[in-house]
Amino acid sequence: MSNTNSKVVSDSTIIMTELVLPNHTNQLGNLLGGQLMHWIDICAALCAAKHSQRVCVTASVDKIDFHHPIKLGEVVSLSASLNRVFNTSMEVGVKVYAESYKSGKKIHSNTAYLTFVGVDENGKPVQAPQVVPVTEDEKRRFDEALLRRENRLKLRTKEI
């Protein structure tokens, strides 16, 4: 069900896999937070670009909590999907999992929400196609995205 006016969530889902190497870690052998944020931003940007068929720029990143350290040698899986479109901005959710192939243990380590804007050749924002949630989980994330957006806008007006 893809046309220029709307697409289903699964049309633009992105999955990335990264191996935590020594240059990705701190002195404790844990993945650097900045490195994980970099991977999250790339995965989410690819999702937004695939949905909008445009170059997309990061407009905002919601709070990122680090629940579990990710260790050297573990495999990080990032899954990005579009939650909702608001005219030119798009909220993308990214789920992060860390897996040890040695132990076979896989943990959900992070969830992040990012907002992107597709731009034209002149760097001007362009309206994005709407996203149609199909599954119950997609519908829940669609509804929750509106609440997060309202909170972001409230915070923005307080800062000014």
Q: For residue range 19-75, what is the model confidence (pLDDT) as tens digits?
A: 999 999 999 999 999 999 999 999 999 999 999 999 999 999 998 888 899 999 999
The token duo for 22 is 């020594």
Does some domain include residue 70? yes
Adjacent-strand bridge partners of 120:
none
CATH number at residue 136: 3.10.129.10
Residue 77: helix, strand or coil by DSSP?
A: strand
Q: What is the side-by-side strand order in the sheet with 75-86?
A: 14-19, 75-86, 89-99, 106-119, 55-61
Does some domain include residue 109? yes
Q: Residues 112, 33, 61, CA angle at the centre, nearest 5°?
A: 30
Mean pLDDT within 4-33: 95
Does some domain include residue 11? yes
Q: What is the pLDDT of residue 154?
A: 84
- Of the two residues 159 and 79, the one the predictor is more confident about is 79
Mean pLDDT within 98-123: 95
Distance (Å, whole) CA 81 – CA 79: 7
Model confidence pLDDT, tens digit, residues 60-107 = 999 888 889 999 999 999 999 999 999 999 999 999 999 999 999 999
Domain total in the chain: 1
Does some domain include residue 134? yes
Nearest to 46 by CA among 11, 13, 84, 3: 13
pLDDT band at 3 (very low <50, low <70, confident <90, very high): very low
Give the residue numbers spanning the domain of 17: 6-159
Does some domain include residue 89? yes
Does some domain include residue 130? yes
Does some domain include residue 127? yes
pLDDT band at 12 (very low <50, low <70, confident <90, very high): very high
pLDDT band at 4 (very low <50, low <70, confident <90, very high): low
Does some domain include residue 1? no
